[in-house]
Amino acid sequence: MPANRRLRILTWHVHGNYLYYLTQVPHDFYLVTKPGHPPGYAGRNGTLPWGDNVHEVPVDAVASQEFDVVLYQHRVHWDHDRQHALSAAQQRLPRIYLEHDPPLDNPYEQKHWVDDRHTLLVHVTHFNELVWDCGATPTCVIEHGVLVPKDVQYSGELERGIVVVNHLARRGRRLGADLFEAMRERVPLDLVGMDAAQSGGIGEIPNLELAAFSARYRFFFNPIRWTSLGLAIVEAMTIGMPVVGFATTELSTVVRNGENGYVHTDREVLVKAMQSLLRDPAHARSLGYAARRTARERFHIDRFVRDWLEALSRVSS
């Protein structure tokens, strides 16, 4: 395949914000859709400003189309759609599996279902790549990349912390539902996200409005025990917001205590840290300035695009 050729990439809408950042890569993306746009097949739905390089293809039309690369993002698409939606020739195309999560069944022994020397398994954090058993499947890590809002900057005038988690009540301990409940008894916290009202939160804030909404809060609190590095955390850091969270998974490599936020496994330490930020807005602004610098140095969209161009070239050349 000629170098620098514009690729036609078949993929699925799994995580909206990640997909939006991914489509900043200068190739054409074709999103598999189903009638009614159910989860995993939502196409261009939603409020994100999709570019002209993002297209839709109905699931029953996939086999008749021509693509250069298939980018899987969910086990259902790998196990089912690969066999039932793609043609035999498409199943042999260059392929990448993008793994968004750490192992959810066993934190150190779970084997990844992609067991294929001819598929590139991309992890979004080094922690995820460390804990998954990927066998002989080749892997690489592409850390998050985000677009920095041009018209939003942290102000922190609200003496409260903000928590951004979707479906917290339903997702329970892994996402820290119990920790959120315990912490907000001692620190003023507001929860936003899908179905946040069920947990006593405010509700869902549209993607394009979240940065400005969050910027008024003194700090961002992440109660999650076990996940990848949440994009909401990185997005908060880009606007100059300090982050407080539990020192688990990849977050412990991003936040440095007393420099750009606070992380610890002792909830008492975190309570004291949040209370100090509420008392001292100047300290919060100082941490937020450093958080913004960290985000722009480590999670810049240009680096993200370069990494994805390299991965796509690796499988397609």
Please tell me whether residues 186 and 278 are part of one structural domain: yes
Is residue 180 situated within a structural domain?
Answer: yes
Please tell me whether residues 123 and 220 are part of one structural domain: no
* Residue 23 binned pLDDT confidence (cut-offs 50, 70, 90): very high
Is residue 1 situated within a structural domain?
Answer: no
Please tell me whether residues 141 and 21 are part of one structural domain: yes
Question: Which residues touch 305 (CB under 8 Å, ≥6 apart)?
Answer: 24, 25, 26, 145
Q: Helices (H) and strands (E) in the chain — how many of each?
A: 13, 12
pLDDT, the chain, mean: 96
Please tell me whether residues 12 and 140 are part of one structural domain: yes
238 with 297: CB under 8 angstroms? no
pLDDT per position as a tens digit, 194-242: 999 999 999 999 988 999 999 999 999 999 999 999 999 999 999 999 9
18-46 average pLDDT score: 96
202 with 196: CB under 8 angstroms? yes
pLDDT at 47 (0 to 100): 86
Q: What kind and span of H or E run contains 54? A: strand 54-58
Asked if pLDDT for residue 2 goes beyond 60, the answer is no
Q: Can you tell me which residue has the tokens 């979004």? A: 124
CATH code, 74 = 3.40.50
Is residue 152 situated within a structural domain?
Answer: no
* Residue 3 binned pLDDT confidence (cut-offs 50, 70, 90): low
Categorise residue 36: left if φ over 0, alpha if ψ from -120 to 50, beta otherwise.
left
Please tell me whether residues 122 and 194 are part of one structural domain: no
Range of the domain at 82: 8-145+300-316
Specify the number of domains making up the chain.
2
> Among 87, 84, 86, 82, which residue's Cα sits nearest to residue 97?
82
282-290 average pLDDT score: 98
Backbone angles phi, psi at 116, to 5 degrees: -155, 115
pLDDT at 149 (0 to 100): 85
Asked if pLDDT for residue 1 goes beyond 60, the answer is no
Please tell me whether residues 272 and 307 are part of one structural domain: no
Is residue 282 situated within a structural domain?
Answer: yes
Please tell me whether residues 132 and 167 are part of one structural domain: no
Please tell me whether residues 80 and 93 are part of one structural domain: yes
Please tell me whether residues 18 and 139 are part of one structural domain: yes
pLDDT per position as a tens digit, 260-272: 999 999 999 999 9
246 with 179: CB under 8 angstroms? yes
pLDDT at 192 (0 to 100): 97
Backbone angles phi, psi at 110, to 5 degrees: -70, 130
Please tell me whether residues 138 and 66 are part of one structural domain: yes
* Residue 90 binned pLDDT confidence (cut-offs 50, 70, 90): very high
Please tell me whether residues 23 and 92 are part of one structural domain: yes
Please tell me whether residues 294 and 187 are part of one structural domain: yes
43 with 56: CB under 8 angstroms? yes
Q: Can you tell me which residue has the tokens 């490599």? A: 253
pLDDT per position as a tens digit, 91-133: 999 999 999 999 999 999 999 999 999 999 999 999 999 999 9
pLDDT at 317 (0 to 100): 86
CATH code, 286 = 3.40.50.2000
